[in-house]
Chains A and B, each alone.
Chain A
């Protein structure tokens, strides 16, 4: 069986989650590799959620929020936008591939865009191969 990436998605409920729902109501088909967790705002995405997802076996993490300027909470997505490069720099130090973690803006009307993002990310991660994080951490427990 080919490698099926597991992607955890953190979606803000006003734009991106609604957009993902719209993809559903519009019956826009996309890869089933994403597992969505709904949050009030992308600013609620604590970087530890991403670290934990990777540690628990996610091959990729997708964070989606409203487009800059469109945040339901005025500027929550700007906080996310600032956290991401910090987090990316940190993940790079851990040796985790940049493409595994992705931030995208998906509005409530962009069902198609959500599907496109998921498809694109799934395929990119498929090319990248499975994440080593979980297996490394598990091996660490068994053998020194």
Chain B
């Protein structure tokens, strides 16, 4: 260790870092640190020439450890690890100092930012001195897949997997397949029938002998790890007593979908009190029945559609539910074709017509004389019963933004475009498959942009509206992406397990069993015979809870050892 040779590389990140951090000074400082033999700065370390520079230096100077001071390791740790691996070093002989996201981008004072960058770089240098080469392991991959949820996402994933010859199990809580899409009449923007979309898939699923569908069932527990899960499914389907079935699966795709926002939570829309204020799903029912009419059975002369019910508000959900705008336009079309003389007012905040064919659909909806009325994000239309003598049932008062007038909109039927919400049982699902949820309850993807299908738990994928509101094309794309990812893994036959995990030094373990209960993944086993505890590395997720809790210091958190962190503390405080 004392004759280690460290190379320190400072990224200017164009001017992102260099305009705040005094990079030449930092370079000089780094050069003087113990064991540092090369210290260089470069415009973009992550660029090919930047990586080449490191690779060349490793060869030329015989470097055995590398530190890069640049952006967040969340961004480029992987890039540089693979670069030094190319040069023949173990990828773990590397450490990154985050001098962009946590330094140059958040501080204005050059002196202070440079001092901070120095401390962070020194910490990285001191830490890397204690790094050890780590090897990845590989374990077998069970080719079966469990799909939770039989909506459009689940059906699509299952078909893609099964048609590639792999076994799939679909677990559906309800007594039929189809999910939320089965509640829908036509789909925007091409106005084709949801039933047609579904029936075709369901038939194919039913006919495929590689797919086993379990209705009225739910996942009770999931144990094991990627490639080697054991799922316990509770099946009620037609049985007097629920039966629990154990399945061995390699991967799990969570396609549990969404539920609609409860419009009754917003009092001034009078939902539940005014009989002709209905939700979009109630309206879908009308459309499917082929009768658009008021509760009293009259043909409405005025229909008002109110957007963003429960969405994009401070009070309920801040996010956009993404499908309601186009669904509202679809309603306008369907109403106009059912009742040509009907006047449709579309009361919206912004028209989100981002998808393929959406803008055109919006235009076409304008052309059928839908009256678009805009209201403010944090204001809300108020619905009241019309007065005697009015030619309508209800009046909607709203501060219309495009005209700047406070207006009253006549309506006989009001459709509330209820947004999407995470299902009540989503936290249960999240817990059983061990994935995270955001504050709204949506499942969190591994990376929102670069890895939107995987989760932070290996082998668990998410598709469709359980991850966030989306329309059918996006849901299907995600479902098929999940299937493709899984097929790729099945094709490899085995999987690499992350080299960072906890391990018990058997020479120091006293079998006190302090750690046994701590692991959320049950990765710690106790050997009654030897009276020692042991970590199953493939199951371990490297959180380090057991490491810090081991009173004997017998558990080592690989790549996050006490020594490494102590060195880092010494570095940042230098």
Chain A residues at the B interface, C-beta cutoff of 8 Å: 4, 6, 8, 13-14, 17-18, 20-21, 23-25, 27-30, 32, 35-41, 43-49, 52-53, 56-58, 67, 70-76, 79, 107, 109, 115
Given A32-B112, A44-B547, A107-B439, A74-B106 contact (CB < 8 Å): no
A40 touches B72 (CB 8 A): no
| B-side contacts of A49, CB under 8 Å | 565-566, 569
Q: How far is the CB of B226 from chain A (nearest CB, A)?
A: 16
| A-side contacts of B500, CB under 8 Å | 40
B105 touches A27 (CB 8 A): yes
Given A35-B116, A70-B437, A44-B543 contact (CB < 8 Å): yes
Given A20-B102, A21-B102, A72-B436, A40-B518 contact (CB < 8 Å): no
Q: How far is the CB of B79 from chain A (nearest CB, A)?
A: 16
| B-side contacts of A115, CB under 8 Å | 106
B106 touches A29 (CB 8 A): yes
Could you jot down 27 A-B contacts, CB within 8 Å?
A8-B573, A17-B72, A21-B72, A24-B72, A24-B100, A24-B105, A25-B105, A30-B106, A32-B107, A32-B112, A32-B116, A35-B116, A35-B123, A40-B541, A40-B543, A44-B547, A44-B557, A48-B562, A49-B565, A58-B573, A67-B439, A70-B436, A70-B439, A73-B543, A73-B545, A109-B439, A115-B106
A8, A44, A67: the one within 8 Å of B548 (CB)? A44
A40 touches B544 (CB 8 A): yes
Contacts of B96-148 to chain A: CB distance below 8 A? 98, 100-103, 105-109, 112-113, 115-116, 119-120, 123
CA distance A45 to B566 in the complex (A): 11
Q: How far is the CB of B431 from chain A (nearest CB, A)?
A: 7
Say yes or no: is B74 at the interface (Cβ < 8 Å to chain A). yes
A45 touches B548 (CB 8 A): yes
| A-side contacts of B72, CB under 8 Å | 17, 21, 24
Given A21-B102, A35-B119, list of 17 further CB < 8 A pairs? A4-B112, A8-B569, A24-B102, A30-B107, A35-B120, A36-B98, A40-B541, A44-B557, A45-B548, A49-B569, A53-B573, A67-B439, A72-B436, A75-B520, A79-B518, A109-B438, A109-B439
| A-side contacts of B372, CB under 8 Å | none
B120 touches A23 (CB 8 A): no
CA distance A37 to B120 in the complex (A): 9
CA distance A131 to B437 in the complex (A): 39
Given A14-B436, A39-B560, A52-B456 contact (CB < 8 Å): no
Q: How far is the CB of A133 from chain B (nearest CB, A)?
A: 11
B560 touches A44 (CB 8 A): yes
Say yes or no: is B536 at the interface (Cβ < 8 Å to chain A). no
Q: How far is the CB of A75 from chain B (nearest CB, A)?
A: 6
B101 touches A24 (CB 8 A): yes
Say yes or no: is B236 at the interface (Cβ < 8 Å to chain A). no
Given A46-B562, A76-B545, A53-B569 contact (CB < 8 Å): yes
The 6 closest A-B pairs by CB, nearest first: A24-B101, A44-B544, A43-B545, A35-B572, A46-B548, A73-B543
**Quick one: closest A residue to B112, CB to CB?**
A32
CA distance A15 to B265 in the complex (A): 31
| A-side contacts of B565, CB under 8 Å | 37, 39, 46, 49
B74, B109, B115: the one within 8 Å of A13 (CB)? B74
User: Digit string of B554-569 for contact with A (CB within 8 Å is 1, else 0)?
Assistant: 0001001010011011
- Most chain B Cβ neighbours within 10 Å, of A17, A18, A32: A32
B573 touches A20 (CB 8 A): no
**Quick one: closest B residue to A17, CB to CB?**
B74
| A-side contacts of B436, CB under 8 Å | 14, 70-72
Q: How far is the CB of B472 from chain A (nearest CB, A)?
A: 27
A28 touches B98 (CB 8 A): no
Say yes or no: is B262 at the interface (Cβ < 8 Å to chain A). no
Say yes or no: is B193 at the interface (Cβ < 8 Å to chain A). no
A43 touches B548 (CB 8 A): yes
| A-side contacts of B557, CB under 8 Å | 40, 44
| B-side contacts of A37, CB under 8 Å | 123, 565, 568-569, 572
CA distance A35 to B107 in the complex (A): 13
**Quick one: closest A residue to B562, CB to CB?**
A46
B566 touches A52 (CB 8 A): yes
B547 touches A46 (CB 8 A): yes
Say yes or no: is B434 at the interface (Cβ < 8 Å to chain A). yes
Given A8-B569, A23-B106, A56-B573, A43-B439 contact (CB < 8 Å): no
A76 touches B105 (CB 8 A): no
| A-side contacts of B282, CB under 8 Å | none
A36 touches B102 (CB 8 A): yes
| B-side contacts of A109, CB under 8 Å | 438-439
Q: How far is the CB of A115 from chain B (nearest CB, A)?
A: 7
Q: How far is the CB of B518 from chain A (nearest CB, A)?
A: 7
Q: How far is the CB of A82 from chain B (nearest CB, A)?
A: 10
Given A14-B436, A79-B545, A38-B73 contact (CB < 8 Å): yes
A28 touches B106 (CB 8 A): yes
Given A32-B109, A32-B113, A35-B573, A41-B437 contact (CB < 8 Å): no
B569 touches A29 (CB 8 A): no
Q: How far is the CB of B436 from chain A (nearest CB, A)?
A: 6
Say yes or no: is B371 at the interface (Cβ < 8 Å to chain A). no
CA distance A126 to B116 in the complex (A): 17
CA distance A73 to B430 in the complex (A): 11
CA distance A74 to B500 in the complex (A): 18
| A-side contacts of B437, CB under 8 Å | 70
User: Digit string of B254-287 for contact with A (CB within 8 Å is 1, else 0)?
Assistant: 0000000000000000000000000000000000
Q: How far is the CB of B566 from chain A (nearest CB, A)?
A: 6
Say yes or no: is B570 at the interface (Cβ < 8 Å to chain A). yes
Contacts of B55-82 to chain A: CB distance below 8 A? 72-74
| A-side contacts of B560, CB under 8 Å | 39-40, 44
Say yes or no: is B15 at the interface (Cβ < 8 Å to chain A). no
Q: How far is the CB of B525 from chain A (nearest CB, A)?
A: 18
B520 touches A25 (CB 8 A): no
Say yes or no: is B542 at the interface (Cβ < 8 Å to chain A). yes
Q: How far is the CB of A96 from chain B (nearest CB, A)?
A: 16
CA distance A8 to B567 in the complex (A): 13
| B-side contacts of A35, CB under 8 Å | 116, 119-120, 123, 572-573
A52 touches B106 (CB 8 A): no
